[in-house]
Amino acid sequence: MSTIIRVDNLTRRYGERTAVNHVSFEVAAGELFGFLGPNGAGKTTTQRMLTGVLPPSEGTAYVLDHDMARDPLGAKEHLGVVPEVANPYLEMTGWQNLMLAGELYGMKRSARTQRAEELLRELQLWDRRADRAKTYSKGMRQRLMLAMALLHQPDILFLDEPTAGLDVMSRRNIHQTVKNLTRSGVTVFYTTHNVEEANVLCDRVAIISEGRLAAVDTPEALKSHFAESQSVQVAFASPVKPEALSDIPTVAHVEKEGDKLRLFTSQPGRAATEIALFAQRQGLEIVSLNTLGPSLEEVFLSITGRGSHPREEKS
């Protein structure tokens, strides 16, 4: 597949502080690329350089074969951007905001109105199109921003934490729209600090920490680097002390998690068999038994140095 974003040693300094430090990566056309990092890692700064809004201090960003520092206009024509903290014009209606967005990208009136209707319906804003954006909730404003970014049918969509602070419905709505987009061939650059979001949504994930790129890979490949933190989770019908299970072969240690027990092991399959045999010997009834890989969150915490002993698990 062809490369659509090529970032080479991209660096941005603010005085003494280096917000983005010699970052290099590539995004292939059609990918849903996650850009994951904790607060202050340099995600927004990177997205701003990629969208031609902020000049880099060093290095280059090529988007659609245009150098974003020197010749951004040609690329901007084909980018859709939802910045991290941004608003539609609150004094204008949802419809007027969309028309403005279309005009800024040189769209003809007929194309603008047709696309606007499609998007407003898809993002469940059609009934409110004639109301001023001032009267919209946060989630509605964010969906309007997404519609404004998509009106001109961009080749690449940049999203900076588009679901931060939104409820489940708005979030699903945005996720669904993004998935539909990738199905139709649009490349998506998805910035987030939410690991689970990156895990379920993205083809590949870049992890950035303190301005440096720590890893770029598929979610599963990232997890497989952390094989030692695999585990088996078991729940019995009647209470069992963790110590009772610690003699099971291959189990390193056991932790109590609510009404379940979690057994850390490098061979989860074998451990599961042993647990079943143990239950049979003791006459215990197993309510549930799961083998768990490391979560992307564990990988993330361990890479970004926030957690030395991975233990959290997310379903």
Partner 1 sequence: MSAFLRTWAVAKKDMRVYYLKGPVIIFGLLFPGFLFLAFAIGRDLPAESLAPGLIAMALFFTSSAVTPAVLPFETRTRTLERLLAAPLSLGMLLGGDVLAAFLFGLFVSLIPALVSILFITSTPPRLGLLAVTLLLSALTYAILGMLFSSPPTDNPSSVMTISNLVRLPTIFFSGVFVPISHMPAWGKALAAFSPLTYTTEALRAALGQETYFPVSLSLLMLCLFAAGLWAVSMALHRRNMSRRLWM
Ligand X SMILES: Nc1ncnc2c1ncn2[C@@H]1O[C@H](COP(=O)(O)OP(=O)(O)OP(=O)(O)O)[C@@H](O)[C@H]1O
Among residues 90, 169, 237, 252, which is the contact residue for partner 1, using CB under 8 A?
90
- Residue 110, contacted partner among ligand X, Mg ion, partner 1, none, CB below 5-8 A by kind: none
Q: Is 151 in the site for partner 1 (CB under 8 A)?
A: no
- Residue 85, contacted partner among ligand X, partner 1, Mg ion, none, CB below 5-8 A by kind: partner 1
Give the other-Cβ count within 10 Å of 256's Cβ.
Answer: 12
Q: Is 175 in the site for ligand X (CB under 6 A)?
A: no
Segment 176 to 195, residues that bind ligand X, using CB under 6 A: 193
CB of 189 to Mg ion, least distance (A): 13
Q: Is 199 in the site for Mg ion (CB under 5 A)?
A: no
Q: Is 96 in the site for partner 1 (CB under 8 A)?
A: yes
Closest CA to 87 of 143, 158, 150: 143
Looking at the Cβ atoms of 117 and 210, the one nearer to Mg ion is 210
CB of 87 to ligand X, least distance (A): 16
Site string for ligand X, 18-47 (x = CB under 6 A): -x-----------------x-xxxxxxx--
Looking at the Cβ atoms of 66 and 223, the one nearer to partner 1 is 66
Segment 219 to 258, residues that bind partner 1, using CB under 8 A: none
Rounded to the nearest 5 degrees, what angle is found at the Cα of 51, between the Cα atoms of 53 and 83? 80
Among residues 1, 2, 16, 17, which is the contact residue for ligand X, using CB under 6 A?
17
Q: Is 48 in the site for partner 1 (CB under 8 A)?
A: yes
Which residue type is seen at 25? F
CB of 301 to ligand X, least distance (A): 15
Q: Is 59 in the site for partner 1 (CB under 8 A)?
A: no
Among residues 4, 23, 32, 79, which is the contact residue for partner 1, using CB under 8 A?
79
Q: Is 84 in the site for Mg ion (CB under 5 A)?
A: yes
Residue 242, CA distances (Å) to 189, 218, 236, 258 in order: 44, 35, 12, 12
Q: Is 83 in the site for ligand X (CB under 6 A)?
A: no
Q: Which stretch binds Mg ion (CB under 5 A): 24-32, 79-87, 138-146, 307-315?
A: 79-87
DSSP letters of the chain?
--EEEEEEEEEEEETTEEEEEEEEEEEETT-EEEEE--TTSSHHHHHHHHTTSS--SEEEEEETTEETTT-HHHHHTTEEEE-SS----TTSBHHHHHHHHHHHTT--HHHHHHHHHHHHHHTT-GGGTTSBGGGS-HHHHHHHHHHHHHTT--SEEEEESTTTT--HHHHHHHHHHHHHHHHTT-EEEEEES-HHHHHHH-SEEEEEETTEEEEEE-HHHHHHTTGGG-EEEEEESS---GGGGTTSTTEEEEEEETTEEEEEES-HHHHHHHHHHHHHHHTPPEEEEEEE---HHHHHHHHTTS-SS------
**Cα–Cα distance between 234 and 259 in angstroms, integer?**
9
CB of 19 to ligand X, least distance (A): 3
Task: List interacting residues with partner 1 (CB under 8 A).
Answer: 48, 51-55, 73, 76-77, 79, 81, 83, 85-92, 96, 100-101, 103-106, 145, 148
Task: List interacting residues with Mg ion (CB under 5 A).
Answer: 43-44, 84
Task: List interacting residues with ligand X (CB under 6 A).
Answer: 14, 17, 19, 37, 39-45, 84, 193
